[in-house]
Structure 1
Amino acid sequence: MDLDGEALPASLIRDLLTDELDQRGLRISGARITGQLDLSDVVVSRPVALVDCTTDEPVLLDRARLTSLDLSGLVAPAVSAPWLKLDHYLLLQRARLDGGAADWALDLGEASIGGHVSLSRSHLKSEREYAVHGVKLRTGSHLYLSEVQAVGTIRLDGARLGGNLHCGGAHLRSPGDSALLGVDLQVDDTVHLGGGFRASTGSDRYAAVRIRGARIGGQLVLRGGECAGAVALDVKQVKVGMEVLLPPDCVDGRVELDGLTYAGVPRDATADEWLDLLATRTPVYASQPYAQLASAHQAAGNERDVRRIRVAQQRDLLRRGRLSGWGRTWHRITGATVGYGYRPAVALLWLLGTLAVGAVLVAGVAGPAGLVRSCSSVDQVGHALNTVMPLAKPDGVRCQVATTSGLGRAVVISTWVLQVLAWAFATLFVAGFTGLVRKTS
């Protein structure tokens, strides 16, 4: 029934639904509904379609039970549908819901939809709190928020979606809370937050996109999207069954990544870009994001990247972690000498440098000063190496530095110091090679 803008009493629609309906259900388009359309507690085993209709009062669907519902093109202050039950789909495409000072524009709290829900290209606004209140919403298939324009929070805490969450092209803005909020959200397939997706918040406390504790069966995709705020993205304790597609330029603000797990190497960002993200864009040091990244690269066979990630983790721990004074000192020493245990060859270079300094002291300082007698230059170098080398023992004493002068005594004392350093570097090399100084905290 196409009314082309003609007035239709809301009470008549309810009467039509409660009377015996045609097997094809009820379909009305273009109606100007007068009065409040109250379909609360209505039970109808037929599809209902009210397409391109307008009303000045909120539409009430509390606890209604229908086969399917099509409210595409609806212009109304709000739609209240908590505990709504549909066997198939809910369509609310191209709708304009201006909740004004109400708590929400669309309430789907604890609603149960057997198929998919589509809010594509709708304009939803609530000046107080929620553009969409979908706490514990259940769907058998996808939730489409494609190209939605929303002012206020889209809240999906505890929702269970049987397919994808599509947010491509959506522009979400919340002045005082998260624009997209889905704590403990469960999505059986992929979460799409790309393709022109924009989310922003004026809050310094809450992230523009906050899906902490979510479970995602497919991918988490932010390619081509943008999250902006003091905290742009909060994915703490999120478990992603497949890859994460997170380009660095998609977040404008801090990111919360502690506890995020995923399969494979993160896409759309190099290892260096991820390391920069972890070191400069996260609020505090956390070991888990580094461990997850290293594990992903190790599984992919990128051993060189694994070492770089581990070294970067220890540098971040030194810079922002909670270390005691001694722990910080030891961290600096192991970092400079063995790369925190992941670059033991550095300690070997320090050892070789120590031997070279010893040779210069004996053959280049003491020898020309006449403090080493009856020795050739080669013997002087050998004497220096035998003195400094911690594991080598001379067969006999062929050279000896005279200690009758201050310079001679200084050279001998210096070789003792170099011997201690050589022992230390040799020990650090062995410890680093065997992994004894590696840190995972």
Structure 2
Amino acid sequence: MEISELTAAERRVWEAFPLGGTVDFREGPDDAPGPDADWGPARTVRAEVLRALLLGGAAEEGHTPVLRVTGARVSGPLDLQYAEVATPIHLKACLFDDIPELYRAQLRQLSLTRCRLPGMHAIALRVDGSLRMPECRVLGPVRLGGARIAGGVTLYGAHLGEPGAALDEPVLALNHITVEDDIRADQGFTAHGVVRLEGAAIAGRVDFDDAVLSNPGGTVLQARNLTVGSELHAARLAARGRVDLRGARIPAGIGLEQASLMNPGGIALRASSLVAGALWLHRTPRIQGTVTLRGAQVDFLYVASDTWPDEVRLDGFTYTRIGPREPVERRLEVLERDTDGYVPFAYEQLTAAYRNMGDDAAARTVQLAKQRRQRATLPWYARAWGHLQDVTVGYGFRPTRAAVWLLSLLLAGAVTYAVRPPTALKRGEAPDFNPVFYTLDLLLPIVSFGQEQAYASRGVYQWLAYALIVLGWTLATTIAAGVTRTISRQ
């Protein structure tokens, strides 16, 4: 392209390029490409001119050519498909008439700051440095699937899509992308539609702090099989739709402090088969929608009972430690919300977590709650036996109840037979009567003190003896069943 064919605005860019200089077309520092921007020829640069510079622009000895343009209107499609561009690209506050075409392009650096674009096609893009799009306004989809970024991806403050616009594809497609540093989509990053990170590999961390993801009734974050080298942090995230983290691998954990997860009538958080160092929902308001954690594995689970929604799915969900500290009964209420009904594994897992933390009393309470929940699923005769074990010894997890029952029966029998002693079967041969040991002979089915064989009650006191014998056997059987169950757990 000859310089004589250029407009005055394009000539400024052409002359600044080999020197690495910046051409600023703005009329003031706050001059940004809004929806009604009508920039004329004085600040319009044809995309083909930029393409010619990037692919064959002249170099100036002693200088590094860089494309630096601020506040320009880029007319026509910037077509760099399959191109190898060794020059860094820095465009700021620019208005694009058409979607940049970067399919399989190989760039050194791409920075689009506060630009306005109708979309971006950059599937399989290669960037030797970082990809930056902070505070950009993009109306259509940003396609970056399969891209390889040697640095980080910066999207803080960007606004993608339009409220209520129905897209048949993700508004931000980062599926199978490889990033050697962090992804920053924080500081008010907003996406109206699906953000897809499926199969992505991020060496650093993914940051959604203060982001807004909105796709009511649909998916807002699709990150199945995502691999993150550090953590996924989303403090104060506002998610209006489903967050899907199935199969993700996040060793440092997921931080959702004060996040708002809302998908009423649907799944708000789906993290089946997730493997993470922690799942942290500190001061997070009550989740609206179902939480599914089937088969997930985390080391530290920090979720207050008030945060859990009305419906959960926790079968196969494992964790080592839990927080914050709160009564065990509140955590048991969460297990009762499982839509799968009675899930034995959920109770066993909560028991194991309390034992890992050294809280054996809470662990026994969970096991007792498990037996009571299971009892409701049994036939009537098994439920009756269960009620008896519960009342007497708390299924073996409340051993002091057995002592209370034994002492109560012993006291009742000893007082009764002290007032009305039984008759000796063989006068002169019977040992001296002792109401306490006589009652113990009736209550304890195995131990014998010689009182029961030497004395016999009459009338109503005989029926009392029968009752003490039956209660003794029942108490002994329930104690044995409870002790066996407790030992087997340990």
Q: What TM-score range do you get, normalising by the shorter chain? A: 0.7 to 0.9
Higher relative contact order, chain-length normalized (CA < 8 Å, sep 6+): 1
Equivalent residue for 2:422? 372
Bigger Cα displacement from structure 2, 422-431 vs 288-297: 288-297
Out of 219, 224, 239, which is 2:253 matched to? 219
Do the aligned partners of 2:247 and 2:274 also contact (CA within 8 Å) in 1? yes
User: How many residue pairs end up in the alignment?
Assistant: 415
Equivalent residue for 1:102? none
Equivalent residue for 2:10? none
For residues 267-278 of structure 1, the aligned pairs below 5 Å read 269-272=324-327, 275-276=331-332, 278=334
Q: Deviations over 1:59-114 (max 9, x none)?
A: 22111110111112121221121111111111111111112xxxxx2111111111
Equivalent residue for 2:402? 350
Q: Which amino acid aligns with 1:159?
A: A
Q: Which amino acid aligns with 2:256?
A: L
Instruction: Give the SS at the match of 2:285.
Output: helix
Do the aligned partners of 1:41 and 1:63 also contact (CA within 8 Å) in 2? yes
Distance 1:277 1:358 in 2: 38
Q: Which amino acid aligns with 2:254?
A: L
Q: Which amino acid aligns with 1:142?
A: D
Do the aligned partners of 2:198 and 2:223 also contact (CA within 8 Å) in 1? yes
Q: Which amino acid aligns with 1:240?
A: A
Once the two structures are TM-superposed, the CA of residue 28 in structure 1 deviates from its matched residue by 1.8
For residues 30-49 of structure 1, the aligned pairs below 5 Å read 30-49=71-90
Do the aligned partners of 1:241 and 1:262 also contact (CA within 8 Å) in 2? yes
Equivalent residue for 1:3? 25
Q: Which amino acid aligns with 1:214?
A: A
Distance 2:68 2:402 in 1: 83
Q: Which amino acid aligns with 1:425?
A: T
Task: Give the share of equivalent positions with the same residue, in percent.
Answer: 24
Instruction: Give the SS at the match of 1:71.
Output: strand
Q: Return closer, same or farther for 1:391/1:314 CA change in 2, 3 Å cut-off.
A: same
| In the alignment, structure 1 residue 20 sits paired with structure 2 residue 75 | no
For residues 29-428 of structure 1, the aligned pairs below 5 Å read 29-99=70-140, 105-125=141-161, 127-128=166-167, 129-146=169-186, 147-194=188-235, 196-201=236-241, 208-230=242-264, 231-242=267-278, 244-247=280-283, 249=285, 251-264=287-300, 266=302, 269-272=324-327, 275-276=331-332, 278-284=334-340, 285-286=342-343, 290-314=347-371, 336-341=391-396, 343-346=397-400, 349-350=401-402, 352-354=404-406, 356-357=408-409, 359-360=411-412, 363-364=415-416, 372-373=422-423, 379-396=434-451, 397-402=453-458, 405=459, 407-408=460-461, 410-428=463-481
Superposed CA RMSD in Å reads 3.3
Once the two structures are TM-superposed, the CA of residue 306 in structure 1 deviates from its matched residue by 3.7
Q: Which has the larger radius of gyration?
A: 2
Q: Return closer, same or farther for 1:340/1:225 CA change in 2, 3 Å cut-off.
A: farther
Q: Return closer, same or farther for 1:152/1:420 CA change in 2, 3 Å cut-off.
A: same
Distance 2:466 2:343 in 1: 45
Q: Return closer, same or farther for 1:421/1:390 CA change in 2, 3 Å cut-off.
A: same
Q: Which amino acid aligns with 1:41?
A: Y
Gap regions ≥5 residues in structure 2: 1-22, 27-38, 303-321, 425-429
Q: Return closer, same or farther for 1:302/1:416 CA change in 2, 3 Å cut-off.
A: closer
Instruction: Give the SS at the match of 1:275.
Output: helix
Once the two structures are TM-superposed, the CA of residue 153 in structure 1 deviates from its matched residue by 1.2
Gap regions ≥5 residues in structure 1: 100-104, 202-207
Q: Which amino acid aligns with 1:401?
A: S
Distance 2:373 2:87 in 1: 61
Q: Deviations over 1:317-370 (max 9, x none)?
A: 556xx77778767766655555455x2515xx2354156336525743x776x6
TM-score (normalised: structure 1) = 0.82
